[in-house]
Amino acid sequence: MLELPPLNTNTIWSILNEEIEDDTVNQLVWHYLGYRYNQSTQQWESDRVAEEWCGEYPSPPDFIAYRPPTVKLTRSIPKENKQLLKEALGFKGYKIGEFSPRQARRATMANWLLNYMKTHDIVIG
């Protein structure tokens, strides 16, 4: 597993601007959901993952390749935090007809990470 970038607004912008590889974005979300990779066993551990996630996904899901885990990620964001990309960062979104499902999933992941930052008192700004 690679070293993850810090959880800050620069990283969130790098996700949105596609400057960070998909694998790294997945690993960031996995980390903050609680998944940990055990180098000795070469397996993912989910003992820190909330039951609603590890029950359905004992191994971390690929949020970019598959829609269902991304939908679950979206639903896990409280209503008041669903627009954090726009409200906290001023993100205008992607232009209609010029974005892909992959970009939409990356935006969902970025918003989930912003929600994590907000709910864990990590400075957004």
Q: Does a structural domain hold residue 124?
A: no
Q: Does a structural domain hold residue 4?
A: no
Q: Does a structural domain hold residue 96?
A: yes
Q: Does a structural domain hold residue 22?
A: yes
Q: Does a structural domain hold residue 47?
A: yes
Distance between CA atoms of residues 110 and 84, nearest Å: 9
Report whether 2 contacts 21 (CB < 8 A).
Answer: no
Q: What is the pLDDT of residue 3?
A: 87
Domain that residue 112 falls in: 9-119
Tens digit of each residue's pLDDT, the chain (125 residues): 578 999 999 999 999 999 999 999 999 999 999 999 999 999 999 999 999 999 999 999 999 999 999 999 999 999 999 999 999 999 988 777 777 889 999 999 999 999 999 999 988 76
The Cα diameter of the chain in Å comes to 46
Looking at the DSSP assignment, which residues form a beta bridge with residue 43? 38
Q: Does a structural domain hold residue 2?
A: no
pLDDT in tens, 100-109: 889 999 999 9
Q: Does a structural domain hold residue 79?
A: yes
Q: What is the pLDDT of residue 99?
A: 76
Compute CA distances 107 → 6, 58, 59, 86, whole Å: 17, 24, 22, 11
The CATH number of whichever domain residue 57 belongs to comes to 1.10.418.90
Number of domains in the chain: 1
Question: Is residue 124 helix, strand or coil?
Answer: coil
Q: Does a structural domain hold residue 1?
A: no
